[in-house]
Amino acid sequence: MAEDDSRIALDMMNYGMYVVGSRGPAGLNVMAAHWLMQISFKPRMVALALENDARTLANIRESRVFSVNVMGEDSMELIASFLQPQLPTKVQGRHNGRVAPLNKLDGVPHATMTAGCPILQAALAWFECEVEGGLPTGDHTLIVARITDGGQINAGRPLRDDDLGWTYSG
């Protein structure tokens, strides 16, 4: 099967919908993310793939920490507001073709915990991570991180990308 033909199969893969929080020189930032998975029980670790030119990746490289907000099926509108990039060069082909405001958290109830990254009041659950390593993977970078803290905020069913009718297979 040619690489381009594999897109159909990749579109069928299910992913959770998460909000990844970071902090950097421009302050706090959040972004909607699909490509996240647990990779170890002891210690608890995750892998997160981010576009090489993402502001979140730059923040994580600098601070070595990030948060993950597990979002519920009632958070579709909020997730959509975090899909837009802040760099105009990245807008083509995006959800609604607009550039995100500089502060995506304006008006969004949130707090920070030990790592100093945003935890959203609307999330079902959250965890904070400390970076252990990274690996360039084509147009994304794979971040490997150890979970350092976490908890549940609300009850509900976690949101998945197929609940939204979106795919992120490229």
* pLDDT value at residue 50: 96
Question: Is the confidence at residue 46, as pLDDT, over 70?
Answer: yes
Closest to 169 in 3D by CA, of 76, 72, 49, 74: 49
Question: Is the confidence at residue 91, as pLDDT, over 50?
Answer: no
User: CA 58, CA 134: separation in Å to the nearest integer?
Assistant: 12
Do 36 and 126 touch, CB atoms closer than 8 A? no
User: CA 147, CA 40: separation in Å to the nearest integer?
Assistant: 10
pTM (two decimals)? 0.88
Kindly list the distances between the CA atom of residue 159 and the CA atoms of 34, 36, 149, in Å, as whole numbers in the listed order. Answer: 11, 13, 21
Cα 14 off chain centre by: 15
Domains and CATH numbers, the chain: 3-164 (2.30.110.10)
Do 109 and 134 touch, CB atoms closer than 8 A? no
Give 119's pLDDT tier (boundaries 50, 70, 90): very high
